[in-house]
Amino acid sequence: MKALRPGIEFMTILSLLIASTSLALAAATAPLIAELLVLTVAAILPRRASDKKNEKTDEVRTIPLPMAVIVPAHNEEALIGRCVRSILASRPRLAEVLVVAHNCSDNTALEAKNAGARVLVLNETSQSGKGCALHHGFSTAITEGVEAMLVMDADSVASANFIDAARSRFTAGAQAIQCRYEIETPNPTRRAQLMNLAFLGFNVIRPRGRERLGFSAGLFGNGFGMLRDVLEKIPYEARSTTEDLEYHLMLISAGIRVEFVNEAQVTSEAPTSAAGTTTQRARWEGGRLRMMKQWSPRLVGKVLCGQLRLMEPLLDLLGLPLAFEVGLLTIAFCLPVVWLRIYAAAALAVIAAHVMVAAAAGRDFWGAMRALLTVPLYVLWKLCMFRRIWRASRADTPWVRTSRDASV
């Protein structure tokens, strides 16, 4: 057999390289595109009658259901009082506020007590992270006979119907819930507006779509809650930097669905400083990457064994951050492969539609549209963060509190 000429051999290798790269790009981006397509379409569909009925809370307010709102707090003296007062303003007689002052070196406990909360001081320097504080709060509430527990971050504000809406869902049969969770940024930069837009898509549009389709909405670390029976069956042992995602995976593996409460809301302030933003994004996305590595093989095995209800959580877990997705699809569109270019164009159109729907769900549609002009810089910033995200995905990564802006 004659040896290939150098030119022919080079072209053969190049073709194989392009073909393998094309398949890798399609495989890496397809889970998120499938997820966004299905959930975005579902989110804009008319609401079911049961969804509208769930927003009516008057008829269930008198049903006895001992509740507690647990607020994990680590050095949050500047914001904890505002948080507690907002909870108590939304039906103070129906739920007690328990603030877990976890390894605090400031006046968090005093400020929480002055605002009307009961404070649980937890000083265990060997145990850091939100998961430890939540486990302590849940254990205390269960011991005291509380039947339903909500969680709210110390830097957040609750809507006026927060307690009523949660009580309504629990008394209607929900085992676990996730309220609408949004962020706001005073004097936002373009990057902060893009982060808010991504937040709306992830925390509002996707769970709304899941709720319409009967899937589990997910847990986002703020504004969620469970019944006592759920916590006794599945103790809150999640300890990763994304303990909310970890615990949600435990719930869905046990067949427990989280309902989305779109009518009630918690709002937190997003960091605007570069340091605070970078720390927060690295922790979130690094934590998701760690969960992907740990849980994807388990979910794939369960799906192959016939548990098809876990297909949607698997697609969600395999989905890349939106900025990475856009970057990879742009590369795919530039490669000289016809089918890949068609796929990349269609996928980018799906992302564009998802972003438009998310912007429409926010408070400043045109501001979000103007912020989209800076997407290339945002994607570049996220790509530059990849090393930090990868480091944050390690199992031994400590939980790091997001630094607050000086103006707070």
- What whole-number distance in Å separates Cα of residue 111 and Cα of residue 80? 7
Confidence check: pLDDT of 100 > 50? yes
Q: Token pair 């150098």 is at which residue?
A: 6
Confidence check: pLDDT of 150 > 60? yes
- Among the residue ranges 31-35, 182-186, 215-219, the one predicted with the least confidence is 182-186
Would you state the pLDDT for residue 14?
82
With cut-offs at 50, 70 and 90, classify the pLDDT of residue 296. very high
With cut-offs at 50, 70 and 90, classify the pLDDT of residue 51. low
Residue-wise pLDDT for 4-48, tens only, equals 566 677 778 888 898 999 999 999 999 999 999 999 999 998 776
Confidence check: pLDDT of 75 > 60? yes
- What whole-number distance in Å separates Cα of residue 376 and Cα of residue 133? 39
- What whole-number distance in Å separates Cα of residue 176 and Cα of residue 297? 25
Confidence check: pLDDT of 84 > 80? yes
With cut-offs at 50, 70 and 90, classify the pLDDT of residue 166. very high
- What whole-number distance in Å separates Cα of residue 393 and Cα of residue 104? 26
Greater pLDDT, 127 or 300 = 300
Q: In what order do the strands lie in the sheet with 258-269?
A: 118-122, 95-102, 67-73, 148-151, 224-227, 176-184, 258-269, 156-158
> How far from 116 is each of 13, 101, 195, 329, CA to CA, in Å?
70, 14, 33, 51
Decide if 148 contacts 228 (C-beta within 8 A): yes
With cut-offs at 50, 70 and 90, classify the pLDDT of residue 224. very high
Greater pLDDT, 186 or 9 = 9
The domain limits of the chain are: 49-186+212-274
Give the helix/strand (H/E) hosting 226.
strand 224-227
Would you state the pLDDT for residue 276?
58
Would you state the pLDDT for residue 186?
67
Q: Token pair 């269609």 is at which residue?
A: 346
Residue-wise pLDDT for 355-374, tens only, equals 999 999 888 888 888 888 88
Q: Which of 407, 69, 364, 173 is nearest to 270 (CA)?
A: 407
Greater pLDDT, 65 or 271 = 65
- Among the residue ranges 60-64, 166-170, 235-239, the one predicted with the least confidence is 60-64
Question: CATH assignment of 49-186+212-274?
Answer: 3.90.550.10
Going by the DSSP 8-state scheme, the letter that residue 198 receives in this structure is H
Would you state the pLDDT for residue 231?
95
Averaged pLDDT for residues 338-351: 96
Would you state the pLDDT for residue 106?
92
Would you state the pLDDT for residue 408?
41
Q: Which of 353, 354, 169, 165 is nearest to 265 (CA)?
A: 165
Tokens read off for 308: 């098809």
- What whole-number distance in Å separates Cα of residue 18 and Cα of residue 20? 6
Confidence check: pLDDT of 159 > 90? yes
